[in-house]
Amino acid sequence: MKKTLLTMLALAGAGTCPLMADEINSKVIHDYTYVGAGYSYVHDAVGSADAHGGTGEFSYDINNFLIGASGGYFRGSDSLEMWSAGGGVGYVIRASENHVNIIPRVGVFYSNVDVGFASGDSTSVQPGITLSYAFNNTISVNAGYTYAHDLDNGGDIHAFRVGTEIALSEQVGLNLGATFTEDNGFSGASAGVTFHF
């Protein structure tokens, strides 16, 4: 993961890279005003139980300031049910003709887990940063880091995400990603469609 981030930072510094010949001006790639829905798989969500579910998200770009909200509902084995919802803000730093986007961000999320015999909820603060590199107006790759601090139970999670975005049409994008945590390694994957307006 660290090698991926370092490689993307090196590309960001290579302003003369031939892959950056034209400015990115796509309505999908490096555009952050959209609504989206998707599917997510959570590996070892609680103990050894996996979960699957649907997610939704909204983002609005106001002069590179981002306001967003997201949520999801998941079911798994052993009567596992989970849901989460929250929102956050960020800022887009655009470089190299918009080929490189760096987005520091912070969010607050509420989640609930019910495994039949026990349930619990938590509120977490999640600062992080995302780095995205667009090859052209059709495809980009991204990597991100999130630090989640549980305000109710005092736990901390360091999460890393890698993904790609593909413009399926002028206003529709496909997002694919995988998430890893410091303690457990691979922790999930997602696929979603976004409509940009």
Give, for 145, the enclosing helix (H) or strand (E).
strand 139-150
Among 60, 56, 118, 105, which Cα is nearest to 84's? Answer: 56
Does residue 26 form part of some domain? no
Q: Which CATH number fits the domain that encloses residue 173?
A: 2.40.160.20
Q: Is residue 162 part of a domain?
A: yes
Number of domains in the chain: 1
Query: Taking 70 as the threshold, does the pLDDT of residue 71 lie above it?
Result: yes
- In a domain, residue 24? The reply is no
CA atoms of 170 and 65, how far apart (whole Å):
23
* Residue 11 neighbours by CB under 8 Å, 6+ apart: 17, 19, 100, 133
Write out the two tokens for 58.
Answer: 């909204």
Q: Does residue 177 form part of some domain?
A: yes
Model confidence, pTM: 0.86
Answer whether residue 134 is part of any domain: yes
Over residues 137-145, mean pLDDT:
98
**What is the domain range of residue 191?**
2-19+32-196
pLDDT confidence band for 177 (50 / 70 / 90): very high
Judge whether residue 1 has pLDDT over 60. no
Residue 25 lies in a domain: no
Mean pLDDT of the chain: 90
Whether 178 maps to a domain, the answer reads yes
pLDDT band at residue 9 using 50, 70 and 90 as cut-offs: very low
Question: What is the residue type of 138?
Answer: T
* Per-residue pLDDT at 48: 74
pLDDT for the residue numbered 19: 52
Least trusted range by pLDDT, from 38-47, 153-162, 171-180: 38-47
Q: What is the pLDDT of residue 45?
A: 76
